[in-house]
Amino acid sequence: MDSAPCNFEFKNATGIITSDSARNYSVCSWFITAPIHHNIRLEFTTFQLTNSQVLGQNWIEIFDGKSANRLGVYVGTRRPFVVKSSGRFMLVKLIKKGTKCSPCNFKAVYTMIALTKGEFCSFQFVLLPRIVQGKVVDDPFFFSSGQKVANTCSLM
Least confident of 64-78, 102-116, 118-132: 118-132
Same domain, yes or no: 154 and 104:
no
Same domain, yes or no: 102 and 31:
yes
Helix (H, G, I), strand (E, B) or coil at 131: strand
Q: Which residue type, as a one-letter code, is found at position 116? A: T
* Residues facing 114 on adjacent strands: 38
**Looking at per-residue confidence, does 89 or 50 come out higher?**
89
Same domain, yes or no: 31 and 105:
yes
pLDDT band, residue 122 (cuts 50/70/90): very low
Same domain, yes or no: 145 and 90:
no
Task: Assess if residue 1 is contained within a domain.
Answer: no
- Positive or negative CA dihedral for 61, 12, 46, 105? negative
Same domain, yes or no: 108 and 126:
no
> Is 64's pLDDT higher than 80?
yes
The CATH number linked to 71 is: 2.60.120.290
The DSSP string of 59-85 is EEEEEETTTTEEEEEE-SB---EEEE-
Same domain, yes or no: 31 and 87:
yes
Question: How many domains does the chain fold into?
Answer: 2
Same domain, yes or no: 34 and 77:
yes
**Domain limits for position 60:** 8-116
Number of residues that make up the chain = 156
Q: Which residues of 128-143 are buried (b: 16+ CB within 10 A; e: fewer)?
A: eeeeeeeeeeeeeeee
Task: Assess if residue 93 is contained within a domain.
Answer: yes
